[in-house]
A = this chain, B = another copy of it.
Amino acid sequence: MQGFDYQTPTRLIFGKGVVEKLPEVMDGFGKKILLTYGGGSIKKIGLYDEVKNLLKDFEIFELPGIQPNPKYDPSVLEGVRICKEKDIDVILSVGGGSVLDCSKAIAAGAKYEGDPWDLITYKVRAKSALPIVDIITLAATGSEYDMGGVISRTETNDKIGYMDPHLFPAVSFLDPTYTFSVSKKQTAAGCADAMNHIMEQYFCEDSTILNDGFMEAALKSLMINAKKCLENPKDYTARAEMMLACTYGCNGIYSLGSSYTGWPCHGMEHALSAYYDITHGEGLAIITPRWMKHILSEKTVSRFVKYGINVFGIDANLDKFEIANKAIDATYKFFESIGIPMHLKDVGIDESRIDEMACHVAENEGLENAWAPLLQKDIAEIFRASL
């Protein structure tokens, strides 16, 4: 078992109607709020009006239009500008993980004199950040309970994950009813994203009985409940269970004491969505089973056997490679069954830039140090197998 230094100070307020507590919570941080949100789905579900009404005693400035795969330019830059100009006390992020990731970059940038890109690329470490409160409307990224975010810079095809302990949200509101209106496409992509967060931690050299059971349960919960959500989008319990399993995704609690994995699928997918702006969860679902096939070996097979038996109930008496291959096929089939397009060409990616993307990943993601090391040629092979 590995050592660790772990802290997640975020307060989670979970359940139907919890947003009523918003004024009391915001009051603890100040009166000047930057309200960040995306393309308007929060207006459609009435949440925008509810928030504005609840916060009528506060001074609210708005940054709308934050896109999926949130952009350094204009969103982060514009948010930082408003925070500095208006002397904002606290950021209120209302939306999914992209809005929150962008808000985290703004929170750090608001307290830094230079270019926020310095912080995102770790050229400079953040010394502080504005406090962040969020209302999550999509079960997927786990950004509501971690200190990280992912920001894209279009002109350089960069999609960078950055982390800083100042960036844990102070308070996250999670009301499963806000996810009732999430489309089938986004529900499935969110499920795949959250499942992949777990797989990125599960496939490692050294784990524990506790971590494995925790992650296997979370994977089963996500698969069972995603199907229920797709059948009945207003199934409260299913939406709630999905939301909680997603929340734990990236703060490390699924794998305290487990060994380093390198998060290879995220490393590869970041290139896909940086170059082609595809839906992150779909990119992950497409890559994951191909990555699994690629790394399956005498060294890695025992983890796939455990995964196959405990997550998919595959017969433990079969040959170990047969179990592993069945588990990989079951992974593929599950993603397919929830409606995810399972080929890169289905999401508009062809052969033309594969080598360029593989080179970008190999140079930037450190996957030569992953549990199953990936060099540029491995990455290109996985991309080609995904076409």
Q: Residues of A at under 8 Å CB distance from B? A: 1-16, 18, 176, 208-214, 216-218, 220-221, 224-225, 236-237, 240-241, 244-245, 253, 256-257
What are 22 A-B residue pairs whose CB atoms fall within 8 Å in the complex?
A: A1-B240, A1-B241, A1-B244, A4-B12, A5-B12, A5-B18, A7-B9, A7-B12, A14-B256, A14-B257, A208-B221, A209-B241, A210-B218, A210-B245, A212-B217, A213-B214, A213-B216, A214-B214, A214-B217, A216-B217, A240-B257, A241-B257
Q: How far is the CA of A9 from the CA of B169 in the complex (A)?
A: 12
Chain multiplicity (copies): 2
A9 — which chain B residues lie within 8 A by C-beta? 7, 9
Contacts A6-B12, A12-B4, A15-B3; A213 near B209 (Cβ below 8 A): no
A7 — which chain B residues lie within 8 A by C-beta? 9-12
User: Are B5 and A14 closer than 8 Å at their CB atoms?
Assistant: yes
Nearest CB to that of A241 among chain B residues? Answer: B208
Closest beta carbon of chain B to A315's beta carbon, Å: 16
Q: How far is the CA of A348 from the CA of B34 in the complex (A)?
A: 64
A16 — which chain B residues lie within 8 A by C-beta? 3
Nearest CB to that of A171 among chain B residues? Answer: B7
User: Are B10 and A3 closer than 8 Å at their CB atoms?
Assistant: no
User: Are A221 and B209 closer than 8 Å at their CB atoms?
Assistant: yes
Q: How far is the CA of A216 from the CA of B218 in the complex (A)?
A: 13
User: Are A3 and B14 closer than 8 Å at their CB atoms?
Assistant: yes
A241 — which chain B residues lie within 8 A by C-beta? 1, 208-210, 257
A221 — which chain B residues lie within 8 A by C-beta? 208-210, 213
Q: Which 3 A-B pairs have the closest CB atoms?
A: A213-B217, A3-B15, A7-B11
Q: How far is the CA of A7 from the CA of B25 in the complex (A)?
A: 14
Nearest CB to that of A253 among chain B residues? Answer: B253
Q: How far is the CA of A225 from the CA of B214 in the complex (A)?
A: 17
A4 — which chain B residues lie within 8 A by C-beta? 12-15
Nearest CB to that of A216 among chain B residues? Answer: B213
Q: How far is the CA of A183 from the CA of B309 in the complex (A)?
A: 37
Q: How far is the CA of A214 from the CA of B253 in the complex (A)?
A: 12
User: Are B11 and A5 closer than 8 Å at their CB atoms?
Assistant: yes
Q: Within the complex, which residue of B6, B18, B217 is in contact with A11, where a contact is CB–CB below 8 Å?
A: B6
Closest beta carbon of chain B to A169's beta carbon, Å: 11
Q: How far is the CA of A1 from the CA of B241 in the complex (A)?
A: 8
Q: Within the complex, which residue of B3, B225, B244 is in contact with A257, where a contact is CB–CB below 8 Å?
A: B244
Nearest CB to that of A212 among chain B residues? Answer: B217
Q: Within the complex, which residue of B5, B11, B210 is in contact with A13, where a contact is CB–CB below 8 Å?
A: B5
Q: How far is the CA of A11 from the CA of B11 in the complex (A)?
A: 14
A6 — which chain B residues lie within 8 A by C-beta? 11-12, 14
Q: Within the complex, which residue of B3, B220, B256 is in contact with A213, where a contact is CB–CB below 8 Å?
A: B220
Nearest CB to that of A213 among chain B residues? Answer: B217
A217 — which chain B residues lie within 8 A by C-beta? 209-214, 216-217
A210 — which chain B residues lie within 8 A by C-beta? 217-218, 221, 241, 244-245
A10 — which chain B residues lie within 8 A by C-beta? 7
Q: How far is the CA of A210 from the CA of B246 in the complex (A)?
A: 11
Nearest CB to that of A1 among chain B residues? Answer: B240
Closest beta carbon of chain B to A2's beta carbon, Å: 7
Closest beta carbon of chain B to A348's beta carbon, Å: 35
Q: How far is the CA of A236 from the CA of B257 in the complex (A)?
A: 12
Q: How far is the CA of A168 from the CA of B209 in the complex (A)?
A: 27
Closest beta carbon of chain B to A250's beta carbon, Å: 16
Q: How far is the CA of A208 from the CA of B210 in the complex (A)?
A: 17
User: Are B214 and A209 closer than 8 Å at their CB atoms?
Assistant: no
Q: How far is the CA of A253 from the CA of B256 in the complex (A)?
A: 14
